[in-house]
A and B are shown apart, each in its own frame.
Chain A
Amino acid sequence: AQTVTQSQPEMSVQEAETVTLSCTYDTSENNYYLFWYKQPPSRQMILVIRQEAYKQQNATENRFSVNFQKAAKSFSLKISDSQLGDTAMYFCAFIIIQGAQKLVFGQGTRLTINP
């Protein structure tokens, strides 16, 4: 079975702090994409960062970076210099590139950035 687990239902930090959101996943496949999505109250899904599983180098996008550990099937998101606008629900997800291309999400982490 393909699953994604986010073990932190809620997190809260002060503005400008660094926060790390955890994600583990399970698949027997070797080729896949991993994602972190942000979902504000509007419920629109916004791509935060993407990682191709065949790439060893961790993806970065400005203040957002990942720690991708393929052997451990771990994909955590680090947000540096957090801002009030980062307050949202964050989902970890992956999609297999071959075979049954099922897009699987975790349960989500509600992140609150406090002023």
Chain B
Amino acid sequence: DVKVTQSSRYLVKRTGEKVFLECVQDMDHENMFWYRQDPGLGLRLIYFSYDVKMKEKGDIPEGYSVSREKKERFSLILESASTNQTSMYLCASSLTPPRVRSGNTIYFGEGSWLTVV
């Protein structure tokens, strides 16, 4: 069964801490995405990556960075966490070009709930 795994479901961090959110997929997908989801704002794209060591800014990259050292792993980094980064973070992946495989085009993780206090 294909999977996108987000290593931490629930995290509580202090203001100013460095936070790592990890996402791993086992489908050999080239594209990987990080979103944050907030009420009334939907899913907003933070960063995406279309290959190892390649990254593109999304719509709200400020305060975040990413790392893609291996194809299967895409990490979201909060260099100095702030309370306005309290949110649910969702990872997704797809093939390049996007196409249907095993009934799906896009695969999602289960989300990571981050609270910054």
Q: Which single member of B45, B90, B106 contacts A35 (CB below 8 Å)?
A: B106
**Is A28 an interface residue when CB atoms closer than 8 A count as contact?**
no
Q: For residue A78, which residues in chain B have a CB less than 8 angstroms away from its CB?
A: none
Instruction: State whether A103 touches B48 (Cβ < 8 A).
Output: yes
Closest to B99 in A: A97
**Interface residue tally on A, bucketed by range:** 20 to 34
In the bound complex, how far is the Cα of B40 from the Cα of A6, in angstroms? 11
Q: Which single member of A43, A98, A106 contacts B88 (CB below 8 Å)?
A: A43
Instruction: State whether B31 touches A101 (Cβ < 8 A).
Output: yes
The stretch from A11-19, A44-52, A68-76 touching chain B is A44-52
Q: For residue A43, which residues in chain B have a CB less than 8 angstroms away from its CB?
A: 37, 88, 90, 110-111
In the bound complex, how far is the Cα of B44 from the Cα of A106, in angstroms? 9
Binary contact readout B39-60 vs A (1 if CB under 8 angstroms, 0 otherwise) = 0111111001010000010100
Instruction: State whether B45 touches A104 (Cβ < 8 A).
Output: yes
Smallest CB separation, A102 vs chain B (Å): 6
In the bound complex, how far is the Cα of B88 from the Cα of A93, in angstroms? 18
Q: For residue B35, which residues in chain A have a CB less than 8 angstroms away from its CB?
A: 105
Binary contact readout A30-65 vs B (1 if CB under 8 angstroms, 0 otherwise) = 000101000000011101001000000000000000
In the bound complex, how far is the Cα of B99 from the Cα of A44, in angstroms? 21
**Is B2 an interface residue when CB atoms closer than 8 A count as contact?**
no
Q: For residue B84, which residues in chain A have a CB less than 8 angstroms away from its CB?
A: none
Offer 7 A-B interface pairs, CB within 8 angstroms, sorted by A: A43-B110, A47-B106, A95-B105, A97-B98, A100-B50, A101-B50, A108-B43
